[in-house]
Amino acid sequence: MLTGDAFLASLDDGREVWYEGERVELVTEHRAFRTGARVIASLYDALHDPATADALTTVDRFGHRTHRFFAPAYSADELRGGRDAIAVWQRMTYGWMGRTPDYKAAFMAQLAEGHAYYGDYGANALDWYKKCAREVLYLNHVLIDPPVDRHRLRSDVTDVFVTVTGENDNGIRVSGAKMVATGSALTHGTFVAVNSGTAARMEPGRDDHMALVFMVDMATPGLKLICRPSYEAAARHPFEAPLAARFDENDAVVVFDDAFVPWENVFVYRDVARAKGFYAESGFFNRYNLHSTTRLAIKLEFAAGLLARCAEAAGTHEFRGVQAAVGEIIAMRELLWSLTMAMVAEPEPGIGGTVVPRLQTAAAARLYATNAWSRVRELFETQLAGAPIYTVSGPADLAATELRPMIDRYYRGSGLDAQGRIKLFKLCWDALYSEFAGRHALYERNYAGNQDQQRIDTLNWATTRGDLGRFTSLVDDCLAGYDLDGWTDPLLK
Ligand SMILES: Cc1cc2nc3c(=O)[nH]c(=O)nc-3n(C[C@H](O)[C@H](O)[C@H](O)COP(=O)(O)OP(=O)(O)OC[C@H]3O[C@@H](n4cnc5c(N)ncnc54)[C@H](O)[C@@H]3O)c2cc1C
């Protein structure tokens, strides 16, 4: 398993990352990524720290010591161990990093038993499992086409969407772009595939040139990351942007400019059926929702604590409506955590003797989770009202000797001094109202697919698994109990 230092060193590989018109020389030293890289490094160090190593790691069936969620689970207990390991890392980031390395382990762990799904490319999938588990690799993924020409057949948009442009004995060539790859500048590789919404629109024969699932090393020639603005770079001081300054996960657009992918990195090639099936059949869906629900439960712990502290500082903490808001966030946290308990305690069989969270529970958790954060924002906006905007422009104001006495007098909180109050509300600002916070709100709503698709997937799975049939039979049973002549049930006559 990589250590923090080894992780940082591994990113010095010549990858092509673009920021503000320049190619980034070394991501780990660049102002847009430097601190975020060190936060991820601290997660790697925790794998080796005696205080956290037991909770975080296990030995898989190949003999690799690895993060618990990087190994497949063969029992509810092992799945619970994975959930608890996710929680250990998430508590280190207070739930503010959605794509820590264990997120993609939701998929990679399933390759140990599920590699045969990939047919002729199955050995590649198994090799990637082993490499990923052995080193605890940090992988990002791109499943979504760029937001253009969605009204056209996907197969016709070859100027933008990822398409095969050639092949030879050593591998394939691909060109095209993929919608954002969160955290990618700091990862070891990109996993390229399609999500359920896109897959539903693909057809054999017509979409073969785009029916691909593959992995690319970040240093692959022709692979370019074009980054959005960095909130870490914009954060002038931790005191002003304590979350953005360390937890910003840059969402970069991934461009393949005639990139070469060796055969050993190919999982699905010109095979619509397999490209369509990976998302639902691999167990990735069931498992990534365990990760994201655990993460959000911890982010809600942070949110509840933050609202309580801010209310105390404003002196509103004894008001009934404010207390109700803190209580509501705590209840939301409990509900999400209970969903993780259901996911680990009552799993369903996965590939090759593994267990994965029950599909319907994962689908429900996904939909609830992607609608939870907007309610938290609403509660902060209504219950703290304008308090977070009552602030100063930055640390320099506190250092200004002429101003400081007035700041000390007029900016004090209830029960804490002015500096402490300003510090607390700047944290609140970064969590709820900054550009970093805005991006988080967008992430929470969309990371698991568009809202309609989430509902439609839930309906489809309830239909294919017979749940909807049971639900409609309840109604049919009720209808059968009466007719124009009154009750048909002899008991009620
Ligand atoms: C901060 C952030 C980080 C992200 N990180 C990643 C990442 O790391 N990896 C990754 O792969 N993706 C990532 N994404 C992308 C994310 O997965 C998508 O935004 C999400 O899946 C929704 O897809 P979309 O944006 O293309 O919207 P769409 O799916 O295009 O939805 C837009 C609207 O069109 C409607 N619509 C779409 N298709 C149809 C249809 N066929 N019929 C009728 N209505 C339709 C939808 O219901 C919705 O109302 C990220 C997004 C954000 C915001």
Could you give the dihedral angle defined by the CA atoms of residues 380, 386, 390 and 394, in that order, rounded to the nearest 10 degrees?
Answer: 50
Q: Residue 93 and residue 91: Cα distance in Å, rounded?
A: 5
Atom nearest to 201 CA in ligand 1: 41
pLDDT, position 199: 80
Domain assignment of residue 199, yes or no: yes
Domain assignment of residue 467, yes or no: no
**Best of 139, 195, 228, 447 for a ligand 1 pocket test (most atoms within 8 Å of beta carbon):** 447
Domain assignment of residue 457, yes or no: no
Domain boundary among 254, 281, 308: 281
Same domain, 352 and 266: no
> Phi then psi for 255, rounded to 5 degrees?
-120, 130
Q: Give residue 205's identity as a one-letter amino acid code.
A: G
Residue with CA closest to ligand 1 atom 28: 450
Q: Which residues make Cβ contacts (< 8 Å) with residue 164, sequence separation at least 6? A: 172, 173, 174, 209, 210, 212, 269, 270
Q: Residue 329 and residue 149: Cα distance in Å, rounded?
A: 40
Element at 217 (helix H, strand E): strand 212-217
Atom nearest to 144 CA in ligand 1: 11
Domain assignment of residue 313, yes or no: yes
Same domain, 271 and 321: no
Strands (E), 332-479: 348-349, 355-356
Same domain, 386 and 439: yes
- pLDDT tens, N- to C-terminus, the chain (493 residues): 999 999 999 999 999 999 999 999 999 999 999 999 999 999 999 999 999 999 999 999 999 999 999 999 999 999 999 999 999 999 999 999 999 999 999 999 999 999 999 999 999 999 999 999 999 999 999 999 999 999 999 999 999 999 999 999 999 999 999 999 999 999 999 999 988 778 888 999 999 999 999 999 999 999 999 999 999 999 999 999 999 999 999 999 999 999 999 999 999 999 999 998 877 788 999 999 999 999 999 999 999 999 999 999 999 999 999 999 999 999 999 999 999 999 999 999 999 999 999 999 999 999 999 999 999 999 999 999 999 999 999 999 999 999 999 999 999 999 999 999 999 999 999 999 999 999 999 999 999 999 999 999 999 999 999 999 999 999 999 999 999 999 998 899 8
Q: Residue 322 and residue 203: Cα distance in Å, rounded?
A: 53
**Best of 97, 139, 144 for a ligand 1 pocket test (most atoms within 8 Å of beta carbon):** 144
Conformation bin of residue 212: beta by default, left when phi > 0, alpha when psi is -120 to 50:
beta
Expressed in angstroms and rounded, the spacing between residue 73 Cα and the centre of ligand 1 is: 30
Residue with CA closest to ligand 1 atom 19: 446
Expressed in angstroms and rounded, the spacing between residue 362 Cα and the centre of ligand 1 is: 19
Expressed in angstroms and rounded, the spacing between residue 80 Cα and the centre of ligand 1 is: 30
Expressed in angstroms and rounded, the spacing between residue 445 Cα and the centre of ligand 1 is: 10
- Asked whether the beta carbons of 160 and 147 are under 8 A apart, the reply is no
- CATH number for the domain spanning 265: value is 2.40.110.10
- Asked whether the beta carbons of 198 and 157 are under 8 A apart, the reply is no
Domain boundary among 281, 310, 343: 281
Same domain, 258 and 158: yes
Same domain, 303 and 246: no
Strand partners, 181: 252
The DSSP code sequence of 19-76 is ETTEE-S-GGGSTTTHHHHHHHHHHHHHHH-TTTHHHHEEE-TTS-EEEGGGSPPSSH
Expressed in angstroms and rounded, the spacing between residue 144 Cα and the centre of ligand 1 is: 7
Q: Give residue 1's identity as a one-letter amino acid code.
A: M
**Cα distances (angstroms) measured from residue 414 to each of 198, 240, 314, 409, 417:** 53, 21, 6, 12, 8
> Phi then psi for 64, rounded to 5 degrees?
-85, 130
Expressed in angstroms and rounded, the spacing between residue 146 Cα and the centre of ligand 1 is: 9
User: What's the predicted TM-score (pTM) here?
Assistant: 0.97
Same domain, 79 and 44: yes
> Phi then psi for 445, rounded to 5 degrees?
-70, -35
Residue with CA closest to ligand 1 atom 27: 450
Expressed in angstroms and rounded, the spacing between residue 210 Cα and the centre of ligand 1 is: 18
- CATH number for the domain spanning 327: value is 1.20.140.10
Atom nearest to 178 CA in ligand 1: 11
Same domain, 275 and 385: no
Q: How many CB atoms lie within 10 A of CB 382?
A: 11
pLDDT, position 391: 98
CB-facing half-sphere around the CA of 54: CA atoms within 13 A: 2
Q: Residue 350 and residue 252: Cα distance in Å, rounded?
A: 32
Domain assignment of residue 478, yes or no: no
Element at 175 (helix H, strand E): strand 171-182
Expressed in angstroms and rounded, the spacing between residue 457 Cα and the centre of ligand 1 is: 14
- The count of domains in the chain is 2
**Cα distances (angstroms) measured from residue 398 to each of 403, 420, 428:** 7, 11, 19
- Asked whether the beta carbons of 425 and 313 are under 8 A apart, the reply is yes
**Ligand 1 binding residues, C-beta < 6 A:** 140-144, 147, 150, 179-182, 197, 251, 439, 442-443, 446-447, 449-450, 452
Residue range of the domain that includes 105:
4-281
Residue with CA closest to ligand 1 atom 7: 181
pLDDT, position 200: 81
Q: Residue 224 in 3-state DSSP?
A: strand
DSSP one-letter code for 448: T
Q: Residue 216 and residue 489: Cα distance in Å, rounded?
A: 65
Atom nearest to 451 CA in ligand 1: 47
> Phi then psi for 12, rounded to 5 degrees?
-90, 75
Residue with CA closest to ligand 1 atom 46: 450
DSSP one-letter code for 171: E
Same domain, 158 and 70: yes
Q: Give residue 43's identity as a one-letter amino acid code.
A: L
- Rg (C-alpha) for the chain, rounded Å, is 25
Same domain, 170 and 36: yes
Domain boundary among 281, 302, 332: 281
**Both structure tokens of 162:** 């990822």
Same domain, 332 and 237: no
Expressed in angstroms and rounded, the spacing between residue 449 Cα and the centre of ligand 1 is: 5
Q: Residue 192 and residue 83: Cα distance in Å, rounded?
A: 25
- Angle at CA of residue 160, ends 277 and 437, nearest 5°: 80
pLDDT, position 172: 98
Expressed in angstroms and rounded, the spacing between residue 450 Cα and the centre of ligand 1 is: 5
Q: Which residues make Cβ contacts (< 8 Å) with residue 90, sequence separation at least 6? A: 97, 100, 294, 295, 298, 299
Domain assignment of residue 134, yes or no: yes
Residue with CA closest to ligand 1 atom 44: 452
pLDDT, position 131: 98
Domain assignment of residue 470, yes or no: no
Same domain, 344 and 223: no
Q: How many CB atoms lie within 10 A of CB 481?
A: 11
**Cα distances (angstroms) measured from residue 9 to each of 4, 33, 37, 102, 452:** 9, 14, 11, 20, 42
Domain assignment of residue 171, yes or no: yes
Residue with CA closest to ligand 1 atom 37: 450
pLDDT, position 277: 84
Q: Residue 444 and residue 96: Cα distance in Å, rounded?
A: 11
Q: How many CB atoms lie within 10 A of CB 471?
A: 10
Same domain, 420 and 317: yes
pLDDT, position 284: 95
